[in-house]
Amino acid sequence: MLNGQRIVCVLPAYNAEKTLEKTLRDVPEGIVDRFILVDDCSKDETAKTARSLMDAWPIRVIQHEKNLGYGGNQKTCYQAALNEGADIVVMLHPDYQYEPKLLGALVWMIASGVYDIGLGSRILGKGALSGGMPIWKYVANRLLTFVENLLIGQKLSEYHTGYRAYSAQVLKTLPLDSFSDDFVFDNEFLVMANSMGFRMGEVSVPTKYFPEASSINFARSVKYGLGVLRCSWWGLRMRMSGSKSLQNPNPAQYQTA
């Protein structure tokens, strides 16, 4: 617990067998009450490895019978965390791309009552490029973030981080099932949260790029980028109309196969 609040860390996993234990070992002790690993039909022994670590960490393992996508995985993660009675849910990728040692700083943003959403930014500071982020991804990240900030009236350093913490109230309020099952889920989440007035803050988090760290290829990145732009346009329309509804336009149009 932190500040009397129950902390659940969700681990959306796909082929994380080699990095899972290292990720868990670097999470500070005494903060996380429960880990929930959701294996999205991995091709390796991710779930088996997670179960072998149950004596060392309080882990619950959920396996999808078929791959539901990154957004689909998160939907399972968050529902399971709420079912566990979480007050705060933090998402940490088990591929060790994000620094587990900073989980406490991210969670405290919510536990303090100052923010509803905490984001671990790779762009604040100089950690992105020095950590191995490809230059084309860095440039695309900066451009997409600039456009999104402009359209939805925010001032975040990036929208594309996978290191996030949410209050339970955020997860109970947002219509998660209406969001994409693909990578653009993260952007739909933040655009809708912004339209509903939830408070967002960021902390600087170094990143690491190496063969075992998950990363989408150029073609999928282009598809993701187009989805982000459409999602930002949806956010602008909600901002201009004062609407907080998903009905017009419907975010289902941003979903990818």
Output Rg (C-alpha) for the chain, integer angstroms. Answer: 17
pLDDT given at position 212: 61
What are the pLDDT digits (tens) for 176-189? Answer: 999 999 999 999 99
Integer Cα distance of 201 and 171 in angstroms? 16
Integer Cα distance of 52 and 182 in angstroms? 29
Domain ranges within the chain, ordered by starting residue: 7-252
- Residue with the bigger pLDDT between 47 and 128: it is 47
Give percent of the chain above pLDDT 70. 91
Question: Residue 253 above 50 pLDDT?
Answer: no
What are the pLDDT digits (tens) for 189-199? Answer: 999 999 999 99
Question: Residue 1 above 90 pLDDT?
Answer: no
ω into 12 cis (within 30 of 0) = no
DSSP assignment of 64-110, as one string?
Answer: -SS--HHHHHHHHHHHHHHHTT-SEEEE--TTS-B-GGGHHHHHHHH
Integer Cα distance of 160 and 121 in angstroms? 9
Q: How far is CA 95 from CA 14, 22, 146, 214, 231, in A?
A: 9, 9, 28, 6, 27
Q: Is the four-CA dihedral 101, 171, 19, 96 of positive or negative sign?
A: negative
pLDDT given at position 203: 96
Task: Of 59, 46, 120, 50, give the one whose Cα is nearest residue 90.
Answer: 120
- Residue with the bigger pLDDT between 207 and 94: it is 94
**Distance, C-alpha 236 to centroid of its chain:** 22
Integer Cα distance of 160 and 24 in angstroms? 23
Range 7-252: architecture per CATH: Alpha-Beta Complex (3.90)
pLDDT given at position 227: 87
Which of 60-74, 121-135, 201-215 is predicted with the least confidence, judged by mean pLDDT? 201-215
Task: Read off the pLDDT band of 241 (50, 70, 90).
Answer: confident
Integer Cα distance of 48 and 100 in angstroms? 21
Mean pLDDT of the chain: 89
The answer to whether 85 and 61 have CB atoms below 8 angstroms apart is: no
What are the pLDDT digits (tens) for 115-133? Answer: 999 999 999 977 777 778 8
What are the pLDDT digits (tens) for 72-117? Answer: 999 999 999 999 999 999 999 999 999 999 999 999 999 999 999 9
Question: Residue 248 above 80 pLDDT?
Answer: no
Integer Cα distance of 107 and 41 in angstroms? 28
Q: What is the pTM of this model?
A: 0.89
Integer Cα distance of 37 and 44 in angstroms? 14
